[in-house]
Structure formats: structure tokens, C-alpha cells
Amino acid sequence: MEFAAFLLRRLAWSLLVLVGLSIVIFTIARVMPGDPARMALGPRASAEQVEALQTELGLNKPFVEQYLGYVSGLVRGDLGQSLLTRRSVSDDMRASFPATLELVLITILFAFAVGVPLGVIAANWKDRWPDNAVRGVAIFSAVMPSFFIALLLQVLAGYVLQILPTTGRLPRGTDFIASPTGMLLVDSLVQGRPDVFLEALRHLLLPALALSLATMGQVARITRASMIDVSRQDYIEAARAFGIPERLRLFKYQLRPAFVPPLTIAGLEFASLIGNAFVVELIFSFDGMAAYGVRAIQQKDLNAIMGVVMVSGVFFVLVNLVIDLAVGLVDPRVRIRGART
């Protein structure tokens, strides 16, 4: 019962956040200088043609009416037409989002696989040199511009060592259609193509590495803090007193509860990950939603820009909803404290 109420409250807030987001985006988009109709029709269109398209697109209607039209489209999954690709933005999203999702998931996996052990090491040797080293890595990863690390990796691994591919998601001309999920790692296994799986993985390595650095530092930092926090708890002291083996104590009684804060931070990290993905996808010519977004922005493709921001927002809200519910299920205190977004 209690959890159901929490769930409902949490869902309601998420919905409210999305409505707010759509208002913000729509307002931004409508102050854009330039006429979407003129841009869509190109230079040789007559004034009458422009006016006809304006009417068709509803650009002459009052603001609120336009907004409601936009929202009702959103609900039906209609994000309008892209000027750049001349396709519906929803189709473009369906094609490009799985790539970004795949990249972000692998990135998070990297960040935890490396960040958590680093945090454990730092906590276990608190204030000694391993701790200082991890702290150094964490600070460094936080201030490293995403394009710097991406360019550096591209030059080192791509040009100097020539061990990994630096562009794209698969070798061009690979005979493979990504379905049903659009995520190559999954689809290649589903279709029984280990060769494609390996190639996709090789193409993912550099962008995921570049993208994961900042999150990795955060995860290490928070794991460390949270491990130290837990180590001060009575039951850990008791475990020490009872002579429970060091390794068992560290991993079973200390790491497990200490794992919750890094997990919740992962939710927030998604926002900065999507942001940085714009730069990283562009540098590695990785055909995901972020690369699509960059092109849309450079070409002032209004509907596509709105679509990308909206999809990023929805994705972010959903991820945090799921993480909150998961944490709430484990930790009753969260349910009472309420939504964290």
C-alpha cells in the first residue's frame, strides 16, 4: 500500500516534469529568428507557397493553440518533420536513439566496472597513497573536457597505434540490418552473428571509454565516501571484532550497502552523459541521436532539435524514475522522504 502511494506520487511528479519540459522547449523554439516555412520550402518558393505552408503548419495560430497542437502530436509520438532529413523526426529518433542508448549503457558499465573497485581500494587504504591516487584520478576525470579525451583517444588508438577503428558503428558495407532493437550488440547475438558482435564492440570501445571517464571518477569518489560511511557502522565494527575474514567483510557487509549511493548518482550522471555524447558521437562519427542532434543544431532544424531535447528529457526522467523505484523498494526510508526526481 505504502509503496503504491509512493509509486503514484512519483509517477505524477515525472509527468509534471515532462509537461514543464515541453513548455520550456516549445517556448524556446518559437522565439527562433527565421521562418520555418521559408526554410523548409527553400529559396525559390513564392510568398503564397510560404503562406500556405505556414497555415498548414499552424504557424499563424495563437501560441497556446500551437502548443496544444504540439503536445497532442507528442502524445501520439509525432514530433513533426525534419528539415534536414525530410523524414518524420520520430522515425529519425527510432533509428538513432538505440545507438546512443547502447553507447551510454556500455559507458555506465565501464564506469562502474572500473570506478567501484577504485573506490573500494581508496576506502580500504584511506589517506594512504592509493587513496590519494584515486582522488587525483577523480579530479582529473571531472575536469577533462570530453572533446579532449575523445580526440586524444582517436589520435592514439586510431593513428599512432592503429589498433581500433575510430569512426562509425560497424565497418561500412557490413551486411547487417540492426533489428529488432537497433542495438548492435543485442541484435547481432539475436541474429547469431558473432562477427558483427565483435566488430560492434571494437567500434564502441573508444567512444565509450572517452565518455565514461567523467562518470568513472564520480563513481569512484562516491563509492569511497559511502564505503567509509558504512565502515563506521556498528555492525562492521562487530564483524571486525568477530574476526570475520577481511575479504568477506569488505565485499559482503560493506560494499553491498555502500552500493546504493553510486547507483543513485548514476541516474543524475545520465544527464551529463547525454550532454557529452554530443561531442563524443560527433568526433567518432557515431551515428546516434546526439550526432543527429548536432547536425540538427548546426542546420537549425527546429523540429529535430525539439525532438532530441524532448527525447533526452524523457529518457532522463524515466531512468531516474526506475532507479528511484528500485531504491525505494530496497530502502523504505526513501519512500517516506518522497520523490527525488
* Binding to another protein in span 173-212, by CB under 8 A: 173-175, 195, 198-199, 202
Site for another protein in 282-341 (CB under 8 A): 282-283, 285, 287, 291-300, 302, 305-306, 308-309, 312-313, 316-317, 341
Contact 290, 278 (CB under 8 A): yes
List 16, 68, 189, 238, residue binding another protein (CB under 8 A) = 16
Torsion angle of the four alpha carbons 207, 270, 94, 197, in this order, in degrees rounded to the nearest 10:
40
Site for another protein in 210-239 (CB under 8 A): none
Q: Which is nearer to another protein, 23 or 68 (CB)?
A: 23
**Cα gap 279→192, rounded to integer Å:** 32
The one segment of 69-77, 120-128, 146-154, 204-212 that binds another protein by CB under 8 A? 146-154
List 71, 158, 233, 325, residue binding another protein (CB under 8 A) = 158
Q: Which is nearer to another protein, 122 or 317 (CB)?
A: 317
- 293, containing H or E segment: helix 289-298
DSSP string, 177-218: ---SSS-HHHHHHHTT-HHHHHHHHHHHHHHHHHHHHHHHHH
Longest dimension (CA), the chain: 86
The one segment of 60-68, 82-90, 115-123, 179-187 that binds another protein by CB under 8 A? 82-90
List 15, 113, 155, 329, residue binding another protein (CB under 8 A) = 155
Q: Which is nearer to another protein, 24 or 68 (CB)?
A: 24
131-157 in b/e form (b: 16+ CB < 10 A) is beebbebbeebeebebeebbeebbeeb
**Cα gap 65→217, rounded to integer Å:** 46
Q: Which is nearer to another protein, 90 or 154 (CB)?
A: 154
Q: Is 166 in the site for another protein (CB under 8 A)?
A: yes
CA distances from 278 to 216, 226, 292 (A): 18, 31, 9
The one segment of 17-25, 62-70, 241-249, 251-259 that binds another protein by CB under 8 A? 17-25
The one segment of 42-50, 178-186, 246-254, 326-334 that binds another protein by CB under 8 A? 42-50
